[in-house]
Structure 1
Amino acid sequence: MQRDVVGYQCYATADLGLIAYETAAREGLVIDEGVLLEIVRPGTSDPVAEGEVGEVVVTTLNPVYPLIRFGTGDLSATLPGRCPTGRTNTRIRGWMGRADQTTKIRGMFVHPGQVDQIVKRFPEVSRARLVVGGEMAADTMTLKVETACSGPDALSAKLIEAIRDVTKLRGQVEMVLPGALPNDGKVIEDARSYR
């Protein structure tokens, strides 16, 4: 016997309840009217541009259990435009993974907030991603930075110094053009081989 039941996704947490829901258009999830949602750079409270992947932060003004700027630890991104079904609230892409990217490198923990501290020292750097490579105990660390800087050698030397100052570890720097880093919300990418 066939039952024409249609299933839809929702995005919810134990603390908040419903955050966003899917419509018949199946083009992202519409944010519930009872919450305020922000997308921020992981490890910070800095908002990201529309469409950029970041951590979901939610405020709910429930009089019984209010939560202000509750970091869910989940990644998502806003979608442009309205829902084809006519819903007018903002839409998100849905759950895209976890935001906590804390990584142990040569016995030291490195947090996304530390990468943000480095980037904030240099206004000529728009975005960055710390790539951890190497095999077994031979970890390497390369900070890839998006910049249109015309004097990369001086900037690179200052960035290398900042990496050591903030993380207490040695690392390298690779300059890339603005827009070259993937839009996936990762601040730290663990690309190590564990063979």
Structure 2
Amino acid sequence: MRGGRVEATSPHAYGPVSIRLVRQRDARTLQNELLSNRSWLRPWEATSPDGPVSFDMRAGVRRLLQQHRDGNGVPYVMEYEGEIAGQLNVWGIARGSLSSATIGYWVSERFAGRGITPTSVALATDICFTDLHLHRMEICIRPENRASLRVVEKLGFRYEGLRRRYIHIDGGWRDHYAFALVREEVPEGVLRRWVSGRAPQDAATVPPSDRMPA
């Protein structure tokens, strides 16, 4: 960490999947992917309770990079065989006694089912634990988002509870399940634990009392 800025800028990869810090020149590609995936992504996108906001990916990338310079986040693009497949953001970085952050992500529909998201989440979590020296990483997921729930199930993130009306998504306040890992749980790293088949299979299980109706 240099001043307020977190240092996690080098590409990290496993097989055909890699993550790297977003660049300003990625804005056009990202905007095209978002526009061509509207129906795929809209149910899971954060929205503003104050009404629609302008869609300007260039401005969005500038904001993300400023947050990175300020030490508040690390904005990555996810790539598959060198082609941008989506985004992964480490946000809400807290230092000191909390030493934690949250991960959010999206992947284009045409890249779904290739293991890009779990691989990228594992890479990013390992970076946060080893390079950024954070202690706890969290992922919050809508109960209806089955594909995203599979990510935390595969990687062995531990279920921590139901957060009622937690984030404004797709025009309304939505419930979310919270999952987390702390550094001591994965001394060998999240990626290595997963690919070696040692990730616990039931850590992300949601208890019946918290499950949403089908």
TM above 0.5, one fold?
Answer: no
Where is the strand percentage greater, Structure 1 or Structure 2?
A: 1
TM-score normalised by the chain length of structure 1: 0.30
TM-score normalised by the chain length of structure 2: 0.28
Where is the helix percentage greater, Structure 1 or Structure 2?
A: 2
The structure number with the bigger radius of gyration is 1
